[in-house]
Amino acid sequence: MQRKHFIKNSILGSAGVFAAGVTHAATKGKNDLPESGKPFRLNYGIHDGMFKNNAGDNFIDQMKFAYDIGFRAIEDNGMAGRPVEQQKAIGDALAKMGMSMGVFVLDKGGNDENSIATGKPENLEIFLKGCRQAVEVSKRCNGKLTTVVPGDFERDLPIGIQTGNVIEALRRGAEILEPHGIVMALEPLSDSPNLFLRNSDQTYAICKAVNSPSCKILFDMFHMQRNEGNIMHNMDLTYSEIAYFQIGNNPGRNEPTTGEMDYKNIFKHIYQKGYKGILGMEHGISRPGKEGELALIKAYRDSDDFAV
């Protein structure tokens, strides 16, 4: 599933439910849940719809359910597209529960929606407008991270010129975001070979050139497994510029334990590096219904149960 589909589904899935107020989560009893209430070693962030079968369609009810079973963070790709009152309601709920907000996608900052590699003023202005909007969105939802994808490769320009265009645009964006402590999480993707940003070392070099605490790497392990493999080694090489991780097994982009990636070892590696941030659960669920959601919880419990 591409990022734009995650965004669309999160917005559509919550349409109308906030206006009616927060309902009580239709959850199973706490005794039916795996190690209910025990926080995980790492800070995994759920997304809208992940627990809808156990908690209902209301995202805040899903957040309460997630908190009760040990999760302490969310991410919401489509946050910038939500009505202001929804953004505030989510932010208020996070503050009340003591949960953290992960990434939301910068408006027109996902996949092929806008290419800052072109160097065209109109593309730059779309990006900067998204940065200005991100400041306001962040205030409402208590967030400090916004996902940025530079867009498509520009075939009529040499790669060095495109890289220079991207660096210059990101510096301009950092000027807007840095005073507010907001970080652009720059993400290489595997969704399409047409995308400019594809690898972790390329992203590392760009972040070093931008030279701002507001421009760092979003290391999505699903995408990096597909594009380059050697996950822990490449993570080590680029770790000083990593601000955020995302999770998804390959193949299938589902929860840990469902594919070829050994997430127990990967999580242990991240933990031992001293990472204190959020790991976004940007993936689907391999089995349907309530049972599938409970199996997802078990997969995280098993993968988080590493020796230290």
The pLDDT tens digits for 234-268 are: 999 999 999 999 999 999 999 999 999 999 999 99
pLDDT at 20: 40
pTM: 0.91
pLDDT at 22: 41
Nearest-angstrom CA–CA distance, 297 and 285: 10
pLDDT at 211: 98
For residues 152, 135, 44, 269, the Cα torsion angle rounded to the nearest 10 degrees is 70
pLDDT at 111: 82
Low-confidence residues of the chain: pLDDT under 50: 16-17, 19-30
Among left, alpha and beta (phi > 0; psi -120 to 50; other), residue 253 is left
pLDDT by residue (tens digit) across 20-60? 444 444 444 445 565 667 999 999 999 999 999 999 999 99
pLDDT at 65: 97
CATH 3.30.360.10 fits 3-9+24-299, yes or no: no
Of the candidates 221, 248, 268, which has an alpha carbon nearest to the alpha carbon of residue 41?
Answer: 268
- The CA-atom distances, in angstroms, between 48 and each of 12, 16, 218, 228, 255 are 10, 14, 20, 29, 15
